[in-house]
Structure 1
Amino acid sequence: MELHSEKTKDHHSLNATFVNLGFDKETGENVTSSRKSSLGSGKGDFKFSMKASQPVTYSWENIEVYLEKKQGNCFKRLPPTQKRILDNVTGCVRPGEFLAIMGASGAGKTTLLNCLTFRNTGQLKVSGERNLNGAKVNTDTLARISGYVQQDDLFIPTLTVKEHLEFQALLRMEKHLSYKERMIRVDEVINELGLKKCQNTVIGNPERGVKGISGGERKRLAFASEVLTNPSLMFCDEPTSGLDSYMAQNIVQVLKNIADTGKTVVCTIHQPSSEVFAMFDRILLMADGRTAFLGPASDALSFFALKGLSCPSNYNPADFYIHTLATVPGQEEESKKKNREICDAYSSSEAGQQILKIAQANRSLNSTESQEFELAEVKVNRTPYKASWLAQLRAVFWRSVISVFREPMVIRVKIIQTIFLSALIAAIYQGQSLLLDDVRNIQGALFIFLTNMTFSNVFGVVNAITAELPIFLREHFNGMYRTDVYFISKSFADLPLFIILPFIFISIPYFAIGLNPAADRFFIASGIIILVANVASSFGFMVSCIAGTTDIALAIAPALVIPLLLFGGFFLSNEDVPVYFDWMRYISWFMYGNEALSINQWSGVTFNDTGCPGGVCTGEAILEQFQFNPDYFGRDIWCLVALIVGLRILGFLGLLSKTYRKK
């Protein structure tokens, strides 16, 4: 059996493959399917020279996946049990082939795709061989030569369709291409995927109330993001999920046409229609974690018929296979026995043995058997990134700035919230004077500044970062940009808001309350509040990166903030802190901020009051009453700066650990 199909594959531009989507190239409007163009029409040729993608054969051999389950409880430990998810799965897909992985729920098709793409394996234990053109494949190699369209479409909702594709082009296309050539390619993909009409529309997010493009346009945009780089190997996870039958057929036709250009295409699909099923070159049927059939779709019916399982006439073959291999409730043992017999029959069949030989031949270029197939090693660079560090930083920072300032409603709400709370504080504490009875009120107002800046910024950052983390992880593992690039870009893009909003917050109530009226004292107090706001945002960033999800981060944050608040010197005197908790004062920005604001307010101040010794009150005496030392002002400022840096570093390490854990 020859490795490559005898059918000649024309390596035309990918642009010509997308006419089958049923959209007019110029207007983006729907047209009838009768206007579909063939691949050989020559329409939509590249306007610049892109490196031809290298045909690849991807094989996997003896793939086994286990999930360990812990047994026992805290009083009695038992050895963990292993649940086998995939059992000795072997297969291959070659250039020009469109392979569809099918099976009932729980058959293992998604787990197999995750193993083939080195994604989302979590705590699963995976063993087996995976090879590209005779060479062992790894995550970086696969990221450079493949595209992966996931089931869930994750986009930055504030970007327009064209801006999203421009961002992808800057980071995912080869270095030798100029900026003009990249933008030409973006325009071509927009035209030929029917996205021209919505190219200047924001992508949007219905869950966040941001209106944008439709579901079908989002799916086409996901395809556009991947084919932009002309990948040799394409993976798709449930590409028809959430689409109507017409759009599902068009999407699968896109994949079929991509395969016809010599690409290798693999997808999982759930219950395709008969029209969609007819487009598959080869199918991989799975049952109970094993291979039930792998081969041409036309051969599957005869294979099952030999086992006494004939598909009824006028019946969708896809439905027949799924129903045949499904585990029937109440008949689990009979269903498993039937599936086991089918899988065993395939393993010993001629088709199963041929697939095994191909996979073994693709394992090593040095074996005599593999030389028969003339396999060529895939050549890739060591680094998975196609853009330089500086180019990554420019692109990601540009997108981060857009994502922050493109939502005027969110910014408007933040400004209104800041003005409302500061005005409320001004109304409550207004008219304080330099009297001994008002000292406690002034100290309360200063501490309210700190608590409001902390909670508003911590929870604001937690909600924003955790929502964006899945997008970062996907793009990072696609080889688009480094972790430090995202971290730096996000930190500096958010910085203006963490300067402007705290300044607005303190400006309104400062003079209304009656705080120290000297101009230098006002600006120093503003600087302290800005530092505290940035410490809080750094803390929120750290919690978000460590927790990973919004629910966990929101549960952790208050439990960590409240103890630090108690040691801020307002609710509990510093000298009364238990010795075994004394260390917590030194990581509390409430303590440093409260002391710095108090020193700024009272240092050098004297006023007459009959309640003071000798009828004269001094700021130093007030500070001593609260156990604040004026000599520690510089220390407080530097410690706030150190907390900003330290918490950011911890957040970066937390983000970095997630990338290592995924690998």
Structure 2
Amino acid sequence: MTDNISFEQETRTKIRQTNSGTEQAKISIEFNNGESACIAKQPPKVRLRWNKINVSAQEVKNCRGKVVKSETKILKDVSGYAEPGRLLAIIGSSGAGKSTLLNMLTWRNKSQLYMTGDILVNGVSMGADISSISAYVEQDDLFMGELTVKEHLMFAARLRMDASISDKNKSARVQEVIHQMCLNRCENTMIGKPGITKTISGGEMKRLSLASELLTNPSIMFFDEPTSGLDSYLARMIVDSMKTVAKSGHTGCTVICTIHQPSSEVFEMFDDLMILAMGRVVYHGEIPGALQHYADNGFPCPRNYNPADHFIMEIAIVPGEEEQSKHRTRIRKLTESYEVSSVKMRVDGMFEEEKIRGGGEMMIQKSKVKQNHYNTGYLTQFHACLVRAAKLTRRNPALKIKMFENLFIGIVFGLIYLRTFRAPYLSTEVGDINGCLFLVVLNTSLGATFGILNSFPGELLVFRREHANRMYSSGPYFVAKNLAEMPVYAFYPIFMCVTVYFLAGFYPHAANFFYFYLFVVLVISTGVSFGYMISCLTANQAMALIIAPAVIMPLFLFSGLFLRSGNTPAFLSWIKYISWFYFSYEIALYNQWNAVDHFVCPSSNMTSQTHATCFNNGYDVMTSYDIDPQNDISLNVGCMFILFIGFRVIAFVALYFRTRIPT
């Protein structure tokens, strides 16, 4: 098991115990050569206070023709505090409002909610700028699986640490965090994708999430359910790491976490506790006070019983059955008792004291918040994203499969439409060759489109999280990804082009083969653009896979094979101008038949009906498909480029507006 790491082989850890012998007061990590790796500056001491936080969600329903607005209260008059050097745990049953409170404190996911109340950082209301001094470790661990642990941390360091810090110092800071989080043995291991490729363990993923946020040495750290999905041993390791973070440095970090059903060993590691039930505070203060609070209200904790389980069991509410729950009276009793307690008066007094004290050192910190929201410039963001995108593309296991897929499809198409290369064209072969050309257009288009729809939405989840953490802008990310993938889409089609072109006996000229290859690359690139557009316009992968076929079908029908352009209904004729199937099929036919000057017609003993299908030259073939050879085919190529660029522009605009950071 990779979590059982022989950490002593890599570092020497010096721990000075307090008088009680139970608390680690200082941890100093050194490399084997004795040089200190302390690169990041010590964060300022931060006191976080919040007062009377009320959060509600408004719903608009249409009831019998009338618009009815309803409001659901999520948090009600929640007040609290978090101190530097201490670990605060927020517990409660499902639906108590734990994650909502954390989101409000970090100024995240507020678009659908209405909030009132005050949040002060050292006496200053920072709003969304709190992200400049804090870090947020979400419940789900999302990474680019093709990167190694060290590569992921280096990417984060380049974009999250100050631009004035050299790459050498950033690398040293990464190595320090790797040692601190006990990730030494897996630092060169690929992270992997759960369910798809082999991954590092769950505990290592959690510690990697924590390590990513530790790089900048933040003043405040927020954790949303950091122990979910872990066994008791790994959960204790994660909380122990959080405890170390809170106690590290000269001033200590302010650490807040929501946690679900902690074990008794984990529970003992917390310094302060907030208990929520139905959006109200049951208790907030030191842990011994919580036991006394429950006991004073007639709910003492049994001996040899996990206090966390007891606290939650007494106030547990089944979602959807709030009104019928027998625990409502207990919650009312505990919350009302807390509201008039000396503990609550102390919490209120701390807020008023902080308000009077004012900003102090945090005033300086807030004034340094950059207006563009990012620690690095757009050029640095683009370079880091491009390097990562190139690694992701090169290591994508689907790349090798794509090569074999194209080779296989080229052989299958070529054998089905097999004919002697350079042999004169029979008039009866025109339909077969045209069908083969259309299959090439169809296969490359759908393969490219659905390949993106199956992969890009998953990457968007990582992008949204990193973008919300203000690591990079949507522009550098999108451009870098497009540039990194273009060589791949230009490379793998050559396997299909070579096999199908010579086996199916397309026009035997080097220039025509070269144009055929470029045309296939353009078709694939346009299909990829369409996949990007659908992925960015839809909410998730499932919706994208539903919408894409519905949009592709009319574009497919107006390709010119199933319905001649001259027979198209006037009110639907505009569809062909946004169909790359239409333009690409005309380009393919033009490239194949433009230089053919004669056909071998059926013999004279054929029926007159067969004689009618005889083509004299390539001009007749194109005319039969309503293609005017006199028109410059470059117009179709230009339209393809417009669609190729237009789809990507729409995708970027959709991505930008869906993920832009509020100012």
Normalising by structure 1, what TM-score?
0.90
1:259-658 counterparts in 2 under 5 A? 259-261=246-248, 262-327=252-317, 332-362=324-354, 369-371=356-358, 376=363, 378-379=365-366, 380-407=369-396, 409-431=397-419, 434-610=425-601, 617-630=616-629, 631-658=631-658
Aligned-residue offset at 1:85:
1.2
Matched, 1:187 2:175: yes
Tell me what 1:219 maps to. Answer: 206
Indicate the SS of the match to 1:386: coil
Q: Is the 8 A contact 2:283 2:335 kept in 1?
A: yes
Matched, 1:243 2:226: no
Tell me the distance in 2 between the aligned counterparts of 1:479 and 1:566: 44
Q: Is the 8 A contact 1:277 1:318 kept in 2?
A: yes
Tell me the distance in 1 between the aligned counterparts of 2:613 and 2:195: 65
Tell me what 2:606 maps to. Answer: none
- Letter of the structure 1 residue corresponding to residue 245 of structure 2: I
- Letter of the structure 1 residue corresponding to residue 350 of structure 2: I
Tell me the distance in 1 between the aligned counterparts of 2:491 and 2:102: 47
Structure 2: 5+ residue stretches without partners: 603-610
From the superposition, tell whether residues 227 and 21 of structure 1 become closer, same or farther in structure 2 (CA, over 3 Å): farther
Tell me what 1:7 maps to. Answer: none
Tell me what 1:101 maps to. Answer: 90
Indicate the SS of the match to 1:40: strand
- Letter of the structure 2 residue corresponding to residue 501 of structure 1: Y
Indicate the SS of the match to 2:616: strand
Q: Is the 8 A contact 1:232 1:263 kept in 2?
A: yes
From the superposition, tell whether residues 564 and 506 of structure 1 become closer, same or farther in structure 2 (CA, over 3 Å): same
Aligned-residue offset at 1:66:
1.8
**Number of positions where the alignment pairs a residue of Structure 1 with one of Structure 2:** 634
Tell me what 1:144 maps to. Answer: 132
- Letter of the structure 2 residue corresponding to residue 290 of structure 1: R
- Letter of the structure 2 residue corresponding to residue 343 of structure 1: T
Aligned-residue offset at 1:237:
1.0
From the superposition, tell whether residues 577 and 128 of structure 1 become closer, same or farther in structure 2 (CA, over 3 Å): farther
Structure 1, residues 423-475: CA drift from partner, whole Å, max 9, x if none? Answer: 10001111175222111111111111110011100010111111111100000
- Letter of the structure 2 residue corresponding to residue 622 of structure 1: V
- Letter of the structure 2 residue corresponding to residue 26 of structure 1: Q
- Letter of the structure 2 residue corresponding to residue 321 of structure 1: F
Q: Is the 8 A contact 2:93 2:277 kept in 1?
A: yes
Per mean C-alpha deviation after superposition, the further-off stretch among 382-391 and 548-557 is 382-391
From the superposition, tell whether residues 255 and 440 of structure 1 become closer, same or farther in structure 2 (CA, over 3 Å): same
1:197 is aligned, of 167, 170, 185, to 185
User: How much is the aligned-residue C-alpha RMSD, in angstroms?
Assistant: 2.8
Tell me the distance in 2 between the aligned counterparts of 1:658 and 1:608: 56
From the superposition, tell whether residues 528 and 603 of structure 1 become closer, same or farther in structure 2 (CA, over 3 Å): same
Per mean C-alpha deviation after superposition, the further-off stretch among 182-191 and 470-479 is 182-191
Aligned-residue offset at 1:169:
1.1
Tell me the distance in 2 between the aligned counterparts of 1:413 and 1:493: 19
Q: Is the 8 A contact 1:362 1:375 kept in 2?
A: no
Tell me the distance in 2 between the aligned counterparts of 1:61 and 1:37: 31
Tell me the distance in 2 between the aligned counterparts of 1:448 and 1:598: 12
Aligned-residue offset at 1:83:
1.5
Tell me the distance in 2 between the aligned counterparts of 1:503 and 1:583: 33
Q: Is the 8 A contact 2:203 2:238 kept in 1?
A: no
Tell me the distance in 1 between the aligned counterparts of 2:287 and 2:537: 46
1:26 is aligned, of 9, 12, 18, to 9
From the superposition, tell whether residues 515 and 287 of structure 1 become closer, same or farther in structure 2 (CA, over 3 Å): same
From the superposition, tell whether residues 172 and 163 of structure 1 become closer, same or farther in structure 2 (CA, over 3 Å): same
Structure 1, residues 65-102: CA drift from partner, whole Å, max 9, x if none? Answer: 222334346x6234022211111212221222211000
Tell me what 1:230 maps to. Answer: 217
Indicate the SS of the match to 1:617: coil
Aligned-residue offset at 1:120:
3.7
Tell me the distance in 1 between the aligned counterparts of 2:296 and 2:543: 53
- Letter of the structure 2 residue corresponding to residue 162 of structure 1: K
Tell me the distance in 1 between the aligned counterparts of 2:305 and 2:260: 17
Matched, 1:119 2:118: no
Indicate the SS of the match to 1:81: strand
